[in-house]
């Protein structure tokens, strides 16, 4: 539940200051009108205290019930009712206090419509201030709830994307192990151990959304070791990253799907040795990563090869940075290059 504006120090101070000024102005006007200071101060104090209490009541009531846009008649009716109460209660108090001052009592009777109008104006202003205040607080709370919901949704989607990477790679590795068990049992055992190390490293990364490039490359090397068992001498991986780039931060497990994509389109359609190049550079407060692989334009068709791995990277970077321009692909001289930009 939103707090009343009177719980805000600035508003309370401004409210008190306004009523003190208004009280002084009314008292001075009555004094200039020929009444004594006693009568002037009593009149101004009674009506101003009652009106201030009415304003406080409106702010307090709207804390529990805020009328909608179609219910402004409720605000008018409430303001009119409270204004009438202020006028009649104030009249009764002042007649009781100043009953011997015949001149003032006669003036009081004539000024009651003016008192009613002033009270209605003050209460109406307070009602509108309260509507705007509580409406703003409600909007802020709704925005906060929406932001929390969006953050939870984003986090859930990021986790789901990372979870999907593992089965995708795991099935390929298990199929390769199955194929090697009969003919190359030693290599199969080695690959099982490497797969175990890789999965253990992945689990440790679950709690760290961002890691240093140096850590990501260490993890990537575990993946490449497994793939080298699968493809043997056909897979050559070259990693180039300067010292500054190695200290840049990036989302964990971004490189693996890019390299997997490069292996898919670089090695699946050829029996020759293929070099996959991974480059990291720090430029203009950004970490730039490039993964390049050769391809056969007649069989690989990399322009149509943006499968789960590349799309998952694009989606993760969009969820983290709200930008769609962080992943680019290009083809030059039968070399397919994926470029990823990580803002720092």
Task: Give me the residues paired with residue 291 across strands.
Answer: 278, 338
Burial class of 197 by CB neighbour count within 10 A (0 to 12, 13 to 18, 19+) = middle
Full-prediction pTM beyond 0.85?
Answer: no
CATH number for the domain formed by residue range(s) 184-343:
3.30.565.10
The rounded mean pLDDT for the chain is 82
Cβ(173)–Cβ(194) below 8 Å: no
Question: What pLDDT shows up at residue 85?
Answer: 92
Query: What residue spans define the domains of the chain?
Result: 5-147, 184-343
Question: What pLDDT shows up at residue 175?
Answer: 79
Residue 291 banded pLDDT, cuts 50, 70, 90? very high
Model confidence at 63: pLDDT above 90: no
Mean pLDDT confidence for 303-312: 61
Model confidence at 337: pLDDT above 90: yes
Model confidence at 30: pLDDT above 60: yes
Question: What pLDDT shows up at residue 212?
Answer: 93
Sign of the CA dihedral running 134, 139, 140, 146: positive
Model confidence at 244: pLDDT above 90: yes
Model confidence at 1: pLDDT above 70: no
Mean pLDDT confidence for 238-257: 90
For the chain, percent of residues with pLDDT exceeding 70? 87
Q: Give residues with Cβ within 8 angstroms of 215, minimum separation 6.
A: 252
């Amino acid at each position: 539940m939103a707090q009343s504006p009177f719980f805000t120090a600035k508003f309370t101070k401004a409210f008190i200051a306004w009523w003190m000024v208004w009280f002084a102005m009314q008292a001075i006007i009555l004094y200039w009108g020929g009444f004594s200071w006693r009568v002037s101060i009593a009149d101004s104090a009674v009506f101003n205290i009652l009106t201030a209490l009415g304003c406080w009541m409106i702010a307090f009531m709207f804390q529990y019930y805020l009328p909608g846009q179609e219910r402004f008649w409720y605000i008018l009716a409430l303001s009119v009712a409270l204004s009438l109460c202020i006028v009649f209660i104030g009249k009764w108090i002042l007649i009781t206090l100043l009953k011997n001052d015949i001149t003032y009592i006669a003036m009081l009777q004539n000024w009651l419509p003016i008192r009613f109008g002033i009270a209605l104006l003050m209460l109406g202003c307070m009602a509108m201030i309260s509507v705007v205040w509580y409406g703003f607080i409600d909007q802020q709370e709704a925005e906060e709830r929406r932001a929390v919901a969006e953050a939870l949704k984003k986090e859930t989607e990021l986790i789901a994307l990372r979870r999907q990477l593992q089965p995708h790679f795991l099935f390929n590795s298990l199929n390769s192990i199955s194929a090697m068990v009969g003919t190359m049992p030693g290599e199969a055992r080695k690959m099982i151990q490497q797969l175990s190390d890789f999965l253990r490293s992945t689990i440790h990364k679950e709690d760290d959304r961002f890691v240093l490039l140096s850590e990501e490359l260490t993890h990537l090397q575990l993946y490449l070791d497994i793939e080298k068992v699968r493809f043997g001498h056909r897979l050559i991986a070259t990693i180039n990253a300067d010292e500054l780039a190695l200290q840049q931060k990036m989302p964990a497990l971004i490189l693996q799907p890019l390299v997997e994509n490069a292996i898919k389109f670089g090695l699946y359609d050829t029996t020759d040795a293929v070099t996959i190049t991974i480059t990291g550079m720090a430029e203009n407060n950004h970490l730039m990563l490039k993964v390049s692989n050769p391809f056969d334009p007649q069989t690989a068709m990399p322009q149509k090869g943006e499968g789960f791995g590349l799309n998952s990277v694009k989606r993760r970077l969009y969820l983290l940075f709200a930008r769609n321009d962080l992943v680019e692909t290009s083809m030059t001289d039968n070399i397919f290059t994926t470029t990823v930009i990580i803002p720092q």
